[in-house]
Amino acid sequence: MRIKFDQLDYQDEAVDSAVNTLEGQQIRKSEFTIVESDTLSLGDAHSDLIQDQQTELLSEIQSLGVGNHIIIDDEQLLINVNQVQIKNGIAPSEKLYGNNNFFPQFNIDMETGTGKTFVYLKTILRLNQLYGLTKFIIVVPSIAIKAGTIKSLKMTKDYFENQFNGVTYNSFDYDSKKLNKVRDFAQSTNIEIMVINIHAFRTEAGKETNNRGIQNIIYQESEDLGGNRPIDLIASTNPIVIIDEPQSVDSQPLSKQAINNLNPSLGFRYSATHRDTSYPTLYRLGAVEAYDQGLVKQIEVASITADDDGNEAYMRLVSVDNKKRISAKIEVYQETKGKIRKKLITFGKGDDLQKKTRLPAYQKIGFINDIDATPGQEAAYFSGEPSYITLNAAIKKDLDIKKIQIHNTIKAHLDKEIQLNPKGIKVLSLFFIDQVDKYRQYDEDGNELLGEYAQIFEEEYNKLIAQPRYRSLHQTNVGTNEVHDGYFSVDNKNRVKDTRGGTIADETTYEIIMKDKEGLLTFYDEERGNISRANKIRFIFSHSALKEGWDNPNVFQIATLVETQDTITKRQKIGRGLRIAVDQKGERTSGFDINTLTVMANESYEEFADSLQSEYEEDGIRFGIFDEETFATVIIEQDNLTEDINVFGKSKSIKLVKELKENDYVNSNNRATDKLRQAIKDEELILSEEFAPYEKQIIEIANTKIKDLNIKDASKKTDITLNENALKSQEFDELWNRIKYKTNYKVHIDTDQLIQNIINGTNEFEGMVDIEVRGRSYQYTSGKLDISDAGFRVDDKTITTDSGYLISSNYVLPDIITHLQNETKLTRKSIVKILTHSDNLDRFKQNPISYMMQATKIMNQHKENMIVDNIEYYKTGEEFNDLIFRDTSQGSTYVDESSTDYKVINNPDKTIVDFIRTDSNVERDFAQELDQSRSIKFYVKLPDKFTIDTPVGGYNPDWAIVKEVDGEDRIYFIAETKGSTNRMSLRVTERQKIDAGEKHFDSLQTGIDYEVVTKLEDLP
């Protein structure tokens, strides 16, 4: 099967954007001589005069070379560039040169998977077709991308020769051992395309020799080239330079010098992440545009997160900081409010991990001994085991999670095959691993053995493929061991080994997988003779060797099986599978119904989306920011005849952003305010006379920067005002003098009864005998990733979940008695008696942390309940200060349909504020009843600072009320508003606080009645 290439509009637009910069250029070639001399003509590098002067010095002429000749001056070139930019909706550049002013260069921004290699190859041929340019050099950052480029040149050769009327061109990989190709490059009158790795000529770009006294061959004089240096021969051609991934190619001064040594006439820079934006941008097809137009696959994030039980310590060193004091951010398990979650905690020297995590599993690790902030050596050192952890490394091998990841990746793959195989699309899945021995190992005789991941894969694959639903996918002549394989570098004994992707050994790996590219896309079919190794493979294992430079349009699932530092970014991972899929005819198939890439993440989908957005932002792509070019493309006028377009430009855009800031539409961080969100929602933006005519365009652009319009209506915002008259009234004084007293409490406990309650339980609470434990559980969640100018998020409407259990481990049992003593404050003697008589310590062995957490909860529930049942309050002689009511008037509220706050309307003198902050609809409705009822003479919502001490925490009652009965008597209430008056339906702590609060007010003996109510009629 051969991949077919379509004529895609967006790719042609990218090609035209580069080609049209030279509009007005006439076909003209430059000739120069190659001599056996130290002097070499530099052709038309900068002027014909230089060439004429050097020609007079030439001697011993050997041969004639042909180079490029650009005759457009800088002024016209900038005019052409601006016209291209305006047409493409890009802010016109005010200058031609970027950070490297040796030659003009232009950025072409194309998202991964949209075919930028194809685009720049087609651009080369169009530049020749229109302007006769013949010498081109493609500079790449790595051997991986070089291998991909060479493969693309081979794959597209027939297509381009047909598209360009049989044009012939030569492409080659620069090899210092084959310098005759450099001579051919210089002498040929046809199109010549050289592909060169920046490392081949960067090291000594600015000096004669390196530290070892050995020169790069490209800078050495060569007998094969008549005594000339290859670099001089190349420079004489004034090549057009194509820079692939410039953020990796020329980010350093030495790299810029190396490229300058090529003596380029022009440069085109292709990347999805241009970090250096000083060069004029000609074309932009970013992540958002590519997604919106369906030019890449939609991304589905499938996360597998464990119900982390905390029986084993987990740690991952995320960062080290030494700005104020040396500290380390470490991801750990932490117990909070009876639940265990992964948390990012900042640790300093001397911190005890067990105390900060509240988990006994960290006791063996001890405390932080030292933190090393030295760049490249970041580490945290511990007093126990392990003794240290390095940056991004993690401890706790979680093979259970890896098994679930592999299982779900295989299942997603097989489900996708059922959908796509009938459409002629072969499905591939890609697993990234951190160590090759986890996939493949060797015995003493060198025979291949399966690593742990390969073993799990074959076990899970065999289980799934045997299910009836996948019966149609059976390939009887293809064994399980043949459907998967790894692409790794090998040593001199032909054994796979770990590499970083940039070694000579890796080059062979790239060649193999590039050679297999079409084979991997082709179904295994004996009748058609498609029986190669690549035809059988559907699951690919690799590591950093495939982080860039290789992708395959039919990768539909990507899983990460990495425990230590992950050297591959999320963006690099998804880049391996973003291309639109192709069928058995080699034709592209469009639509998200087919083109969805499932990323099997080992984190939550929210974390994945946030991390992916952070990676884009680190590459210079900022979401939701109103920068100086945001409104540069607003169209002022357009001539339909000449197609000339006049736009705001950068200066006017800066002025508009400044105006939006001054009018509180954009904040100091250049992000939208609620005022702008409301304006967009209302489609009404207040602008100065200069910008008002363009309101619609401005709103459309501004809307792309905002993730959602969940806002408060600024027009509904109002301040809460204090009613001084009500605060000084007789009704308030009489009420306040009944409730203002503070109390303390004492408790009498029957220890034997408490122990029996804890063991056997009561009508209210379970006992120790009721404890049940289970193995660790996991949750599988998936959802579609939405991409916009405002950022990344998972669409709530697409989220699906599933769950299951993980295999339990043989845990090291912690000191349960000490742990329970610390958590419950019961005596060791009582705890031992409780554990002994409960007779279920076998459950403790099955899941220690689950058992201890349940035991802690049960013991504390019964202890606190008995304390509340036996509590006795007494006055302390202290009083609350009525100034706490003045705090009630501070702040503001929103009065709209979504607000639960109540505006006092009927009787403003019955309470002390005009707006009452309420926490629920029940409270709001109750406030309305109090306001409207004739029997209610006065009421206040008690402020937060009116707090009563209880054994289970501070208690803040809701309401203090004065009610009139029979027109004469006054009854004074403390009312607690709940959704139900049945106390047993309340949460335990709520009920205990209410019981304690009632006893507090009884102890005051001031004639206060305490009631739990839902409606006003519940008051007696």
Percent of the chain residues topping a pLDDT of 70: 84
- What number of H helices and E strands is found in the chain? 31, 41
Judged against a pLDDT cut of 80, whether residue 3 lies above it is answered with no
Residue carrying the six token digits 């390196």: 210
Q: Which residues of 649-672 are buried (b: 16+ CB within 10 A; e: fewer)?
A: bbebbbbbbeebeebebbeeebbb
pLDDT of the residue at 737: 93
**Contacts (Cβ under 8 Å, ≥6 apart) of 214:** none
pLDDT tens-digit map of 730-762 = 999 999 999 999 999 999 889 999 999 999 999
Is the sign of the CA dihedral 691, 694, 699, 701 positive or negative? negative
pLDDT of the residue at 273: 80
Judged against a pLDDT cut of 50, whether residue 236 lies above it is answered with yes
**Contacts (Cβ under 8 Å, ≥6 apart) of 792:** 609, 610, 612, 613, 616, 623, 785, 786
Please, which pLDDT band fits residue 293 given cuts at 50, 70 and 90? confident
3-state percent breakdown (helix, strand, coil) of the chain, nearest 5: 35, 25, 40
Task: Report the SS3 class of residue 1014.
Answer: coil
pLDDT of the residue at 870: 92
pLDDT of the residue at 547: 55
Angle at 172 between CA 166 and CA 177, to 5 degrees: 150
354 contacts 815 by C-beta, under 8 angstroms = no
Please, which pLDDT band fits residue 238 given cuts at 50, 70 and 90? very high
Please, which pLDDT band fits residue 987 given cuts at 50, 70 and 90? confident
432 contacts 402 by C-beta, under 8 angstroms = no
Q: Which residue has the higher pLDDT, 574 or 586?
A: 586
Instruction: Name the helix (H) or strand (E) containing 389.
Output: strand 388-390
Task: Report the SS3 class of residue 587.
Answer: coil
pLDDT of the residue at 57: 32
* Range of lowest pLDDT (45-54, 203-212, 560-569, 923-932): 45-54
pLDDT tens-digit map of 169-215 = 999 999 888 989 999 999 898 999 999 999 888 877 666 544 455 56
779 contacts 304 by C-beta, under 8 angstroms = yes
* Range of lowest pLDDT (157-166, 261-270, 641-650): 641-650
- CA distances from residue 949 to 555, 569, 739, 743, 945 in whole angstroms, order as listed: 62, 52, 14, 8, 12
Task: Report the SS3 class of residue 649.
Answer: helix
pLDDT of the residue at 593: 87
Please, which pLDDT band fits residue 56 given cuts at 50, 70 and 90? very low
Task: Report the SS3 class of residue 235.
Answer: helix
Phi, psi at 72, each rounded to 5°: -80, 135
pLDDT of the residue at 44: 44
Peptide bond into 386 cis (omega under 30): yes
812 contacts 784 by C-beta, under 8 angstroms = no
Judged against a pLDDT cut of 80, whether residue 406 lies above it is answered with yes
Within its chain, how far is the Cα of 324 from the centroid? Answer: 28
Nearest to 296 by CA among 581, 101, 84, 77: 581
For the record, the structure tokens of 960 come out as 């203090």
Please, which pLDDT band fits residue 55 given cuts at 50, 70 and 90? very low
Q: Which residue has the higher pLDDT, 776 or 884?
A: 884
Judged against a pLDDT cut of 60, whether residue 51 lies above it is answered with no
Quick one: 1010 exposed, middle or buried, by C-beta within 10 A (0-12, 13-18, 19+)?
A: middle
pLDDT of the residue at 604: 66
Judged against a pLDDT cut of 80, whether residue 302 lies above it is answered with yes
pLDDT tens-digit map of 407-459 = 999 999 999 999 999 999 999 998 888 778 888 888 887 788 888 999 999 99
67 contacts 238 by C-beta, under 8 angstroms = yes
CA–CA separation, 565 vs 143, rounded Å? 23
Judged against a pLDDT cut of 80, whether residue 898 lies above it is answered with no
Please, which pLDDT band fits residue 372 given cuts at 50, 70 and 90? very high
CA–CA separation, 765 vs 860, rounded Å? 11
Judged against a pLDDT cut of 80, whether residue 551 lies above it is answered with no
266 contacts 241 by C-beta, under 8 angstroms = yes
Nearest to 804 by CA among 763, 823, 837, 776: 776
Please, which pLDDT band fits residue 904 given cuts at 50, 70 and 90? confident
Instruction: State mean pLDDT over 314-329.
Output: 87
How confident is the prediction for the chain on average, in pLDDT?
83
Nearest to 275 by CA among 616, 550, 649: 616
Nearest to 829 by CA among 819, 844, 817, 840: 817
pLDDT tens-digit map of 490-525 = 555 556 555 554 444 445 555 556 667 788 889 998
Please, which pLDDT band fits residue 244 given cuts at 50, 70 and 90? very high
CB neighbours (10 Å) of residue 165?
Answer: 7
Q: Which residue has the higher pLDDT, 881 or 903?
A: 881
Angular region, 405: left φ>0, alpha ψ -120 to 50, beta rest: alpha
CA–CA separation, 92 vs 87, rounded Å? 10
169 contacts 125 by C-beta, under 8 angstroms = yes
pLDDT tens-digit map of 583-635 = 998 888 888 889 988 888 767 667 677 777 776 666 666 677 888 888 888 88
CA–CA separation, 420 vs 555, rounded Å? 12
pLDDT tens-digit map of 127-164 = 999 999 999 999 998 877 888 888 889 889 999 998 99
Q: How many CA atoms lie within 13 A of 87 on its CB side?
A: 19
* Range of lowest pLDDT (215-224, 334-343, 612-621, 831-840): 612-621
* Range of lowest pLDDT (269-283, 683-697, 974-988): 974-988
Across 238-247, 328-337, 438-447, 533-542, which has the greatest mean pLDDT? 238-247
- What count of residues does the chain have? 1020
For the record, the structure tokens of 807 come out as 């295999």
